[in-house]
Amino acid sequence: MAGLDLTHRPRRLRRTDWTRRLVRENVLTTGDLIWPIFIIEGEKRREPVGSMPLVERMSVDEAVRAAAHAQALGIPALALFPNTDPALRDETGSEAQNENNLVARACRAISKHAPGIGLMTDVALDPYTSHGHDGLMRGEEILNDETVQALVGQALNQARAGCDIIAPSDMMDGRIGAIRAALDHEGFEHVQIMAYAAKYASAFYGPFRDAVGSGGLLRGDKRTYQMDPGNSDEALREVRLDLEQGADMVMVKPGMPYLDICRRVKDTFGAPTFAYQVSGEYSMIMAAVERGWLDHEKAMLESLIAFKRAGCDGVLTYFAPFVAEKLAKSA
């Protein structure tokens, strides 16, 4: 046709499935996945999380079964989050130090019955406090240095229980260096740290708080310690500090609304970079799926490849078992 310059025809490389696979720039594998699971008391218990379709809270024995299933699918690691009995919550989050708390028992049980899968544990006080905050409080103020001391004790408790990755999500200043020093001092130099380095004060955490039972407890908000969603340069400063203090890996949270942060972090530091596809992201997709507005499989996979394209080495996602099953079938 006159006037067309067809010297270059990019569509040639999109014409067939085999060509598209041959030139694909980013690929999602089961090795990119960390599966967050919620732990509850009891035995042989699974209960649905109302705001997160297909996600369940599990008793420790059921978490062991989930770990074995994840291992069979090739998922490298689980991230454990407790739903703590309200009777065990207090102003200081003292249950976090209990060597027989839910997370500690789950770590020991999974390590015994499903060895070889990585265990990542959250370090923050919000699953244990009666006020729902990640740190200790004096009046309405979240105390930084006193909280760091409590977080060190929590991290050591989890390391003694057999976790492989300590993941501080609290956003207190200086906690990575303090935790790294304490781990090394007690002979846990092999335990890794994945820092929630750029964690934003986001509206997308609601279903998670429902899952761990802290949503109705929160007094005020978390904007004095979690990051302002309008900031990008600040994220780089936070990541730099955490890496300098000994973090092995860094995380951006939430995920999809902050893909630009993922890209900047990876390009700037080149360190292992992860994102958390948080509960609100998951639930938005699943709500649309339930209404027939989105295709479950396609939306799930497309949302996750976005993280790879943005430079992430992996992603924490509640879609992990579904994705792994899909990838296994198509292998």
What angle, rounded to 10 degrees, do the helices at 175-185 and 144-161 form? 40
Catalytic residue from among 199, 222, 266, 308: 199
Is there a catalytic annotation at residue 253? Answer: yes
Give the strand pairing for 192-199 and 56-59.
unpaired
Catalytic residue from among 44, 112, 222, 253: 253
- Give residues with Cβ within 8 angstroms of 143, minimum separation 6: 135, 136, 137
Burial class from Cβ neighbours inside 10 Å (0-12, 13-18, 19+) for residue 317 reads buried
Can you tell me the distance from the alpha carbon of 173 to that of 226, in angstroms, rounded to the nearest whole number?
11
**SS3 for 43-62, per residue?**
CCCEEECCCCCCCEEEEHHH
Task: Give which of 180, 313, 182 is closest to 247, Cα–Cα.
Answer: 180
Can you tell me the distance from the alpha carbon of 179 to that of 185, in angstroms, rounded to the nearest whole number?
10
Is there a catalytic annotation at residue 266? Answer: no
Burial class from Cβ neighbours inside 10 Å (0-12, 13-18, 19+) for residue 234 reads middle
Active centre residues (catalytic): 199, 253
